[in-house]
Amino acid sequence: MEARPVISEIPGHLLKNSNSAEAEEFKQLIASTSKEHSEKTVKLLNAMFNEDISSKEVILLLKNQSDCNMIVRIQGKSFYNLAVPAKNENFMVINKGSYTLTSNVCDVVYTSKKEISKSLFLTINNPVPAGNNIFPEKK
């Protein structure tokens, strides 16, 4: 895994409403010191190479293929907020359990209930406008 740059200022064109409270929260969540990033990476590697099935932690990797930055709110017995930049990915080591994941994906609400008992890779795409057929018609 290559080192990621510490972003201090998110370009306004990547935020739908760059003055919103969520945009400010995104900036705070994504900004990290190299020490925090190193600690997070160590935790990830420990979780990856820990083969103990009784471990209470799993890896949640989110890939954001949308055109908008987002904050994924992970709610269950424990609560987490994970900032995921547009066209990028981010991860978090969380406790196993039942969670509700919510986010705004380009101003469209995303909600999903997950029973997370093993590591999970979740991809979120651009929202599809209602009424559009996402499967091309066969001729």
CATH top-level class of 15-124: mainly beta
Distance between CA atoms of residues 86 and 39, nearest Å = 24
Q: How many CB atoms lie within 10 A of CB 74?
A: 21
Kindly tell me if the per-residue pLDDT of 6 is higher than 90. no
Distances (CA, A) of 29 to 8, 24, 37, 123, 124: 11, 9, 12, 20, 19
Residue 111's DSSP bridge partners are 102
| Angle value at C-alpha 81, between 91 and 39, nearest 5 degrees | 50
The position carrying tokens 């890896």 is 59
Average pLDDT over every residue of 97-120: 93
Q: What is the pTM (predicted TM-score) of this model? A: 0.73
Q: Closest Cα to residue 101, out of 74, 128, 123?
A: 74
Kindly tell me if the per-residue pLDDT of 104 is higher than 60. yes
pLDDT in tens, 45-90: 888 887 777 889 999 999 999 999 999 999 999 999 999 999 999 9
